[in-house]
Structures are given as structure tokens and as C-alpha cells.
Amino acid sequence: MSNSQTLKSPVKIGAKALPKKKAAPAKRSEKPVNPAVAPPKNPGHSHPFPRTEFLTTVARLRDAPGDAVAEVAFVGRSNAGKSSAINTLAGKTRLAYVSKTPGRTQHLNYFSVAPDRYFVDLPGYGFAKAPEDVRKQWDGLLGPYLQTREQLKGLVIIMDIRRPLTEMDWQMLEWFAPTGRAVHVLLSKADKVSRQEQTKMLRQVKADLADLGCPVSVQLFSSLKRTGVAEAATVMKGWLGLCDNSSKETGADALPEEVSVEDKDAD
């Protein structure tokens, strides 16, 4: 990476950097996954990354795929809807839930989306229980990955639309911004709030992020209703250097009525 400045672990910068925003506390534990919000069984039809396959779990940065040309990383508070979003983009039920298996939760989970192109599922913020665990996770793997991985083209941060910009989201943003890489925010579970509230939150989050000093875009997203799938795919395909004709060919966002999923998110 060209940026040579030393970035500090967000757990160290947090206390000073954060009081400017009020935020809900990050959740500490992962809830059981509700498979009901997995994507429908029509892969390749309304899903922009239908060839996605789980590739490997990486515990040390040097074990990351050497053939990678470009990759997009996904991060977010536990339970924000990250696994559901990856599954929805791929159109594969339970694909990303593999990262909940013990031993994989703290590591980088690689999914191949196209030849030499990867999605990288990063640990949920709420996973590590103790501050030392968070620090270990950051210093050992996550920090170096986000700071030095040349192939990382952009970071997708998943935020529950009802609780966007949590303390950990700000820490991540403020830590990542100096790398100069792009950030795209998915305001997930958009179906949980009214249209009016969606518009309001979108505008508010955009305004809050305007001063960050790194290229950051924001959109609405719902795995349940498949809102924003094409928009997200366009951003990600741009980062990955894949041409985007999925939404034109498949009308990815135009098919919400095909999705028969049950909303069991009790939040």
C-alpha cells in the first residue's frame, strides 16, 4: 500500500476519537442466525455474484490467496446482516454462515466471486469478548490486512439502518480512512423502517460521513426485500474490475415479489 503512515488499532484511538458522535454500544455476542432471511433458491437469476463459492479461512495474512487480483472486504457489527448480505449478493443460502463455525469467526473468510476476485468476510465487531481479544485480533490479522493488503480495493461496512454509525463503526471508519481506499456503507434491514425513515436515515448518514475525508458512499439495503442489490453490485463490480451488466440482464432489484422469506429478526 502506498500509504506509509502507521495506523493505530481502533481500540486504542477510540476514547479520544469518538465522543463527537453518539452511538449505540456495539453488541457483544452473535445472535443465532435466522436462515429465513437467506436468499431465494434462484441463483444466477437475480443475484449479481452467482458463482460465489467459499474458498478458505485465513488465520495468517501470509496465507491469503496469492492469485488475488482484487478483493472487497465486508465488516460490521455482529447481527448487522453481513452474512445475509453476502448470501443475497451470491444467491446462495447459508454460504456466508460458514464463517460462524468455531475457529473461523475470528479469521478472514475468503469467497471466490470470479476468477482471482474475492469477497472477504471479516470478523463481526461484537465477536471478541474482551478488549485484549479485540486488540489481539486487530494487531495480529485485521489491522495488517486492512492496512497492507494491496488487493483490497474497497471496504463494505454493513450497518443496521436502525442503529447506524455505532461506536465501532466510527472507529473502523476513522481508522480506515487514512488508507485512502474506498468505503461503501450498506444501511441494512431497510425493510424494518418506513420509506420516510429510510430516506431520512440515508440523508443523515451521508451528512455525518461527509467530513470523513475518504471516498465513502452510502445506500439502502435489504436482504429480505432485496432492496439495493443492483446498486451494491455496481459498486463492488467496479472495485473488482468486473463489468456490470447484471442489473440490466436480470433486473436484480426488480424482483422483490419472488422472494418469499420470513422476517424473524426480533430486534
Ligand X SMILES: Nc1nc2c(ncn2[C@@H]2O[C@H](COP(=O)(O)OP(=O)(O)O)[C@@H](O)[C@H]2O)c(=O)[nH]1
For Mg ion, the binding residues (CB under 5 A) are: 82-83
Question: Which member of 18, 33, 61, 69 binds ligand X (CB under 6 A)?
Answer: 33
> Which set of grid coordinates corresponds to residue 5?
503512515
Question: Per-residue x/- marks for ligand X, 126-165, CB under 6 A?
Answer: ----------------------------------------
Question: Which member of 222, 246, 247, 250 binds ligand X (CB under 6 A)?
Answer: 222
Contact between 83 and 34 (Cβ < 8 Å) = no
CA distance 149 to 153: 9
* CB closer to Mg ion, 83 vs 227: 83
Show the CA angle centred on residue 24, arms to residues 82 and 228, nearest 5°: 35
Contact between 157 and 26 (Cβ < 8 Å) = no
Show contacts with ligand X in window 81-100 (CB under 6 A).
Answer: 81-84
Q: Provide CB contacts within 8 A for 182, sequence distance 6+.
A: 153, 154, 155, 214, 215, 216, 217, 239
Residue 143 touches which member of Mg ion, ligand X, none, C-beta under 5-8 Å by kind: none
Question: Per-residue x/- marks for ligand X, 162-201, CB under 6 A?
Answer: --------------------------xx-xx---------
**79 makes contact with ligand X (CB under 6 A):** yes
User: Where are any strands of DSSP class E within the chain?
Assistant: 53-58, 70-76, 108-114, 117-121, 152-160, 182-188, 216-220
Residues engaged in binding ligand X (CB under 6 A): 30, 33-34, 36-37, 76, 78-84, 124, 188-189, 191-192, 222-224, 263-265
